[in-house]
Structure 1
Amino acid sequence: MKAYEITGGFGLDHLKLTERPLPTPGRGEVLIKMKAVALNSRDLGVIDGFYHPDLQEPLIPVSDGVGEVIALGEQTSRFQIGERVSGIFTQSWISGKPTKANWSSSLGSPLNGLLAEYVVLPEEGLVRVPAHLTDVEAATLPCAGVTAWHAIVEEGKVMPGDTVVVQGTGGVSLFALQFAKLAGATVIVTSSRDEKLERAKAMGADHGINYKQTPEWEQVVMDLTNGEGADHIVDLGGASTLNRSLSALRVGGQISIIGGLSGFQIEGLALIPAIIRKARLQAINVGSREMFESMNGAIAKHVLRPTVDKVFTFEQSIEAFQYFASASYFGKICIEF
């Protein structure tokens, strides 16, 4: 079978298409023929050596994807041949609170990922995907979808009438927009491009703020909320946005810290606004299988569809990563087998 491996160093120059033996499922495992994968910032970080500079090579990258069960190992009972399944990001996080041990079981590093024609995964680390979604759409769910669901529903407990600020128009952000609207919230989206804000409004966003034109976007949030501030802010910017998020938050509100697009080291964190607002800063790291299954139920019930920006072929995987690195996308970048 064909697979992409990180080998001989870091960077896209070291992501190579190779041949591997067809894997065989063992006890409690299933063999999956991959149909599509979706890219995340973490995948590029793994390839560039940002997350694990001591990476054990060779490694198959990419955590998110969907495929068809084509063979079952001994003592498997959760799935049947022919079903479409997706691997959960943290293979050992089934339900409840995460543990330190969970982080050694994430797909795409340290475990081999899904950028291969066939993969074997434990049946406990898989979920069925909503029937109405295409393979490409379903591939977007494990990381971006579950992260947004965790932030908006599981931890945020967003209610009708709440105001939610979503930063950017990438995969997590657009899922957060969709889930917040399902909850009945007013959603404010920030972006550097007016055309992306218009597309977000077409998806249901109530307001858009161009942070290039209005760097002090937190003042606009305060104006839109009659001086009260937002109930929930999904912060993906990190270093350059967290202080502004604190200034845009209502008293008792929550900030879901999800990304660090502008950096992960935050100097000069404004503690006074945080204390005055009794702010809750909740870091979000994807989610459990139980969360994934709950999210899938909501997606199926509301016939929700993820937003896919562009689809590449398996042979164009390097080009897909290059396009992803350009950060010009709206929604998810996918690779179809």
Structure 2
Amino acid sequence: MKAIRVAKPGGLDKLTLVDIDAPGTPGPGQIKVRLKASSLNFHDFGVVSGNMPTEDGRIPMSDGAGVVEAVGDGVTAFATGDHVVSVFFPQWQDGPPPVADFSGTPGDGIDGYAREAVLAAASAFTKAPDGWSHEEAATITTAGLTAWRALVVDGGLKAGDDVLVLGTGGVSIYALQIARAMGARVFATSSSDEKLARLTEMGAAGVVNYKTDENWGATIAEMTGGRGVDHVVEVGGPATLSNSIDACRIGGHMALIGVLTGRSGEVATAKMMAKHQKLQGLIVGSHAHQRDFVRALETTGIKPVIDRSFPLDRIADAFQHEADGAHFGKITLSI
């Protein structure tokens, strides 16, 4: 069967389409999945680019969606023909996070889903939302669940809250959709006026171009009548955090998700302390969180925004499209 491997030291020119052995018969507790789609995330780009070094010849991609072809003894959660989607942390089923690294994450610590089929523990998948395409389902694993945990699990989002999302990547667009579906008001930033117009069409109550307004945090706060937003989905990191603190209300919640502007930097601790704010780091979520999220997606009717889909053998082009930063929403792979 076909698969993609990335050779050390990484780089888009190190992604190679190869033939590997197809998986055999599932053992007890296992399922065999014919993979149909994956989706790109910043984490995946870190792996394939070599910025997050992993084993030579690793099969990348943390997101995988497809159809169950066979089930092993003892598996009751799935049946042949079920549409399923992978989980980011297969070892985190429920409860508090037990993991602080990517050693068990597909596409990083173990081989991922840039291949045609996989044999895995049944606990490494959940059912996909009913009626979704495989490309749509593949966006849940990382981006969708991150937004859900940031706002709902950790943030306790409720109707009437104000939410700030930064940019138009997969997490931010999902966060906008979740917040709007749950009756919250959303504010958004981008460096593109065209993208800001699209965010407004999607229901954003206020938008700011952060390239032309260096004090965009204060501008967002003014848009809320000076109170500030209840939640910030902080995907930028060091270079955006100070403005996010300005945008966030006294006692507000900031979900620290991204490192788009760097892995470390100064934090305006005195300003954050004075505003009694909570800054909570997170990486994706558990199997239980994903099951809850799938039910929420089926109930609300949210569908992901897919910018563009590429075939598996054009994975390098897909990552280049991501690196160019022109996308709006998710980029997917069809397998």
Q: Which bracket does the TM-score occupy, shorter chain normalised?
A: over 0.9
Corresponding position of 1:174: 173
Q: How does 1:202-217 map to 2 (within 5 A)?
A: 202-217=201-216
How many Å separate the matches in 2 of 1:263 and 1:83?
A: 40
The SS at the match of 1:56 is coil
Corresponding position of 1:332: 330
How many Å separate the matches in 2 of 1:315 and 1:79?
A: 30
How many Å separate the matches in 1 of 2:75 and 2:163?
A: 42
Letter in 2 for 1:10: G
Corresponding position of 2:254: 255
How many Å separate the matches in 1 of 2:298 and 2:231?
A: 25
Change (3 A) 1:100 1:315: closer
Change (3 A) 1:70 1:320: same
Query: Shift of residue 282 of structure 1?
Result: 0.6
How many Å separate the matches in 2 of 1:13 and 1:225?
A: 47
Letter in 1 for 2:173: L
Corresponding position of 1:4: 4
Specify every segment of 5 or more residues in structure 2 that has no aligned partner in the other structure, as ranges: none
How many Å separate the matches in 2 of 1:8 and 1:246?
A: 39
Summarize deviations over 1:63-99 as a string: whole Å, max 9, x none: 0121001122233222111111011000111111111
How many Å separate the matches in 1 of 2:66 and 2:99?
A: 29
How many Å separate the matches in 2 of 1:17 and 1:282?
A: 39
Change (3 A) 1:85 1:102: farther
Change (3 A) 1:213 1:89: same
Q: How does 1:11-160 map to 2 (within 5 A)?
A: 11-24=11-24, 25-51=26-52, 53=53, 55-100=54-99, 103-160=102-159
The SS at the match of 2:64 is strand
Query: Shift of residue 102 of structure 1?
Result: 7.0
Q: How does 1:186-265 map to 2 (within 5 A)?
A: 186-265=185-264
Query: Shift of residue 226 of structure 1?
Result: 1.6
- Tell whether the 8 Å contact from 1:87 to 1:121 is kept in structure 2 after alignment: no
How many Å separate the matches in 1 of 2:9 and 2:247?
A: 42
Letter in 1 for 2:29: G
Change (3 A) 1:102 1:322: closer
How many Å separate the matches in 1 of 2:119 and 2:203?
A: 39
Higher alpha-carbon deviation: 317-326 or 102-111:
102-111
How many Å separate the matches in 2 of 1:98 and 1:284?
A: 9
- Tell whether the 8 Å contact from 2:178 to 2:302 is kept in structure 1 after alignment: no
**2:293 counterpart (271, 295, 314):** 295
Query: Shift of residue 183 of structure 1?
Result: 2.0
Query: Shift of residue 200 of structure 1?
Result: 1.3
Letter in 1 for 2:320: Q
- Tell whether the 8 Å contact from 1:62 to 1:113 is kept in structure 2 after alignment: yes
Query: Shift of residue 191 of structure 1?
Result: 0.4
Query: Shift of residue 36 of structure 1?
Result: 0.8
Higher alpha-carbon deviation: 150-159 or 197-206:
197-206
Change (3 A) 1:245 1:8: closer
- Tell whether the 8 Å contact from 1:230 to 1:249 is kept in structure 2 after alignment: yes
The SS at the match of 1:241 is helix
The SS at the match of 1:282 is strand
The SS at the match of 1:234 is strand
The SS at the match of 1:57 is coil
- Tell whether the 8 Å contact from 1:92 to 1:102 is kept in structure 2 after alignment: no
How many Å separate the matches in 1 of 2:100 and 2:39?
A: 25
Q: How does 1:300-319 map to 2 (within 5 A)?
A: 300-319=298-317
- Tell whether the 8 Å contact from 2:104 to 2:110 is kept in structure 1 after alignment: yes
Change (3 A) 1:315 1:167: same
Query: Shift of residue 40 of structure 1?
Result: 0.4
Specify every segment of 5 or more residues in structure 1 that has no aligned partner in the other structure, as ranges: none
- Tell whether the 8 Å contact from 1:93 to 1:102 is kept in structure 2 after alignment: no
- Give me the TM-score of the superposition, normalised by structure 1: 0.96
Letter in 1 for 2:38: V
How many Å separate the matches in 1 of 2:294 and 2:71?
A: 23
Higher alpha-carbon deviation: 5-14 or 188-197:
5-14
State the superposition RMSD in angstroms.
1.2
Query: Shift of residue 101 of structure 1?
Result: 6.9
How many Å separate the matches in 2 of 1:12 and 1:127?
A: 30
Query: Shift of residue 215 of structure 1?
Result: 1.5
How many Å separate the matches in 2 of 1:259 and 1:107?
A: 19
Letter in 1 for 2:12: L
- Tell whether the 8 Å contact from 2:8 to 2:50 is kept in structure 1 after alignment: no
- Tell whether the 8 Å contact from 1:11 to 1:49 is kept in structure 2 after alignment: yes
Letter in 1 for 2:206: H
- Give me the TM-score of the superposition, normalised by structure 2: 0.97
How many Å separate the matches in 2 of 1:58 and 1:107?
A: 13
